[in-house]
Structure 1
Amino acid sequence: MCGGAVPATGTWRPPFVQAYTLSPRGIGWRYHPVFKRMNFHGGQDMSSQPGPGPIVAVAAGRVIRAGWDTTGYGNVVDLQHAGGIQTRYAHLAIINPAIVPDAMIAVGQQLGLEGSTGASTGNHLHFEVIADGERVDPIAFMRDHGAPIDGRPVGPSRAMAPGSRDAVPSDESTAPPPPPGQPRRNSLHNPPQPIPDDILRLYTEAGRKYAIPWQLLAGIGMEETAHGRITGVSSAGARGIMQFMPATWATYGIDGDGDRRADITNRADSIYSAANYLDHTGARTGADGVRRALYAYNHADWYVNDVLHYAQAYGAGGLTGTSARCPSPSRR
């Protein structure tokens, strides 16, 4: 599938894509470490492994709240689902800009990134399920709905918006990019931006041709130019959507759109050339190879982790084009 992992099935799924651990802090009365008093803990705490990751919708629904909560939840998203069910996702580091009140959300669509905002002592997701106005045990509820919260990684869902008839699978078979580490820089304050459909198509087709996860190309495109939103020549002289230096282009630049020219400013040529460069620098040789290839692209550890952070976010879905789905291949 387009996220590089076995997809979730059914209409419900866990709120994480990567592996995670469960806190003993389940639903019930607990001593709150921030408030310093007994407090009703209305949900389940869980943390991505090996580090904070994307948070996704557990079912299709409608956004009823997205923003800052003053009671301790921090950045929080509330969704309304069918059958009088609501779900809550609290302490997010950032909320996906597309998640706004009354927006219709697909199962598996990215809501934001795990964080520690509000009354929190560390990175985690506080997840609640509210049935007919009463908070219920999320572990039991999700188990009964065919989506057990058991710590196992679950890939992107066959994204299906409320009322849609079809889910569009992808034929991707490459392994997912490795998770990000530390340090990070730009991704700490620049959230991942939606990918225009024409650019998404180029990422996926170039990734397919070179057997490289398309999310890796999307991560570079976001880090370098926000998928072409930043234009012009960099202070170092790099050009194009994937920001190639002319000397590097002379070796790795290729014709991506079939016009028999390798143009450094042509988007198709630039994206295909990035895939070609990653292939030549070892991105198909496992997680360590991906990191080495990204380091060769830009010699900085923070750059590697920024790109992997964005790649992970796009792997969770919800920021790819206008249709919030995995792209299907075009005929070339």
Structure 2
Amino acid sequence: MSAPRPATAVMLAVALVTVPITAVPLGATLLLSAVAIPAAAASPDCSTAGSTSGAWRAPFSQRYVRTSPFGMRLHPIEHVWRLHSGVDLASVPSAGPVVAAQAGTVTAAVWRPGVGLSVDLAHGDGVMSRYGHLASIAPGLRPGVRVSAGQQLGLEGSTGTSTGLHLHFEIQERGVPVDPVPFMAAHGAPLDGTVTAAPATSKRPETTGIRGLPPATGVRLQSVTVPAAPIPARVRALYVAAGKRYGLPWTLLAGIGMEETRHGAVTATSSAGARGLMQFMPATWALYGVDGDGDGRADITNDADSVHAAANYLAHEGARQGPAGIRRALYAYNHANWYVADVLVYAHTYAASPEPTESCPAAEPKTQGAVG
């Protein structure tokens, strides 16, 4: 694993952190470049996608507070009067997952000026909801994908023109922004800080012998502005195989792979000397490196060996001893609390990611709205 290493790039999100930052993962040097994803091919039953007759719920899965209302206001950064086209909501006690307020169809999952990383959902009858300033967008979301109420869309963040961690939640009716507070109250889901229950959904079968991942709490760094990247199929298969072999959630390994090298997209040796997909120091590799692909040797630059060695190390450090053990093992991997939080954010994002479903074409909403 990588040793704590000096920062090589300063992100906008760092300005929000009030504790001293002494180490930054190699992945923090990656520049965020999010672009609109092309719409998927049409499905023959697209006319039935989304309806406002379904149940509505709060866009969070934990308690939250309203921090800025809908309406004209002095923009907190640009210092001009303009329409705030939604309401700002912030999770407590710390940033958390953002979920769909009602079942719908994704019409956009993009980076926009002002609102930053955002997801738009069409709900039928001309109603659209927008979720802005996300730290990351759940993998697999693209125009045309259908989501259920309560399905995770991303993680609360501060991307775009923003003064702190929060969600910009917007409702549009036929392209015109409306105040979400009375709208949601009229639909049985008042934005009063409580979490309304999501419709029951079938749970995915457990793939490991432990109960699950601990929550991603505390100060974060990379995951605030760098979204979870899609995992190449070959690398995902390595995560799954290593997870089964060592009794760990494969998403935990995926979180490390994203944090360290964006699943192998970064191939350079780190400034501290760490190498490979999972960024091992040679001295640590000598103790925990394993032959992951069965070719008879443990190669620090071999992806299969690197992923299996990471699982071996985590298991040795107690990651099979429940959520608390996972936290201890991640801290041992790279001695920084923000690193633990970053990896868990990515791990939860991959765990919540739905498999792609049938798609329907959808147009971009008429208006963008002013956000902050």
Q: 1:126 aligns to what?
A: 168
Aligned position for 2:347: 311
| 1:84 maps to 2:126 | yes
Name the counterpart of 2:93: 50
Question: In 2 relative to 1, CA 303–155 (structure 1 residues): closer, same or farther, beyond 3 Å?
Answer: farther
* Residue 115 of structure 1, aligned match among 155, 158, 179: 158
Identity across matched positions, percent: 45
5+ unaligned residues in a row in structure 2: which ranges? Answer: 1-53, 358-372
Displacement after TM superposition at 1:103 (Å): 5.2
Of residues 289-298 and 124-133 in structure 1, the stretch that sits farther from structure 2 once superposed is: 124-133
Provide the rounded CA distance (Å) in 1 between the counterparts of 2:223 and 2:94.
14
Q: Normalising by the residue count of structure 2, what TM-score does the alignment of the two structures yield?
A: 0.62
Structure 1 stretches lacking a partner, 5+ long: 1-9, 159-167, 326-332
Q: 1:246 is matched by which residue type in structure 2?
A: P
Q: In the alignment, which residue of structure 1 is the partner of 2:218? A: 181
State which of 266, 271, 295 in structure 2 corresponds to 1:235.
Answer: 271
* Residues 129 and 89 of structure 1, relative CA distance in 2, 3 Å threshold: same
Change (3 A) 1:50 1:202: farther
Tell me if structure 1 keeps the 8 A contact 2:113–2:160.
no
Change (3 A) 1:63 1:190: same
Instruction: Tell me how far apart the structure 2 counterparts of residues 66 and 45 of structure 1 sit (CA, whole Å).
Output: 19
Structure 1 residues 75 and 271: alpha-carbon distance in aligned structure 2, compared to 1, 3 A threshold:
closer
> Residue 143 of structure 1 contacts residue 149 of structure 1 at CA under 8 Å; is this kept in 2?
no
Measure the CA separation in 1 of the matches of 2:193 and 2:201. 15
The amino acid that maps onto 2:124 is A
Which amino acid in the other structure matches residue 90 of structure 2?
Answer: S
Larger RCO (CA within 8 A; separation ≥ 6): 2
8 Å contact kept, 1:29–1:38: no
Partner of residue 239, structure 2: 203
Give the Cα separation in 1 of the matches to 2:262 and 2:252.
Answer: 14
Cα distance in 1 between the residues matched to 2:308 and 2:124? 43
Q: Distance in 2 between matches of 1:305 and 1:285?
A: 18
Match of 1:137 among 172, 183, 188: 183
| Distance change >3 Å, CA 141–CA 44, structure 1 → 2 | farther
Which amino acid in structure 1 is aligned with residue 212 of structure 2?
Answer: A
Work out the CA distance in 1 between the residues paired with 2:197 and 2:233.
27
Q: Cα–Cα, structure 1 residues 281 and 37, in superposed 2: closer, same or farther, change >3 Å?
A: same
Higher alpha-carbon deviation: 102-111 or 193-202: 102-111
CA shift, 1:315, in A, is 3.1
1:275 and 1:260 mapped to 2: Cα distance?
A: 18
- CA shift in 2, pair 1:139/1:195, >3 Å: farther
**Quick one: distance in 1 between partners of 2:88 and 2:221?**
27
1:268 and 2:312 matched: no
| Residue matched to 1:62 | 106
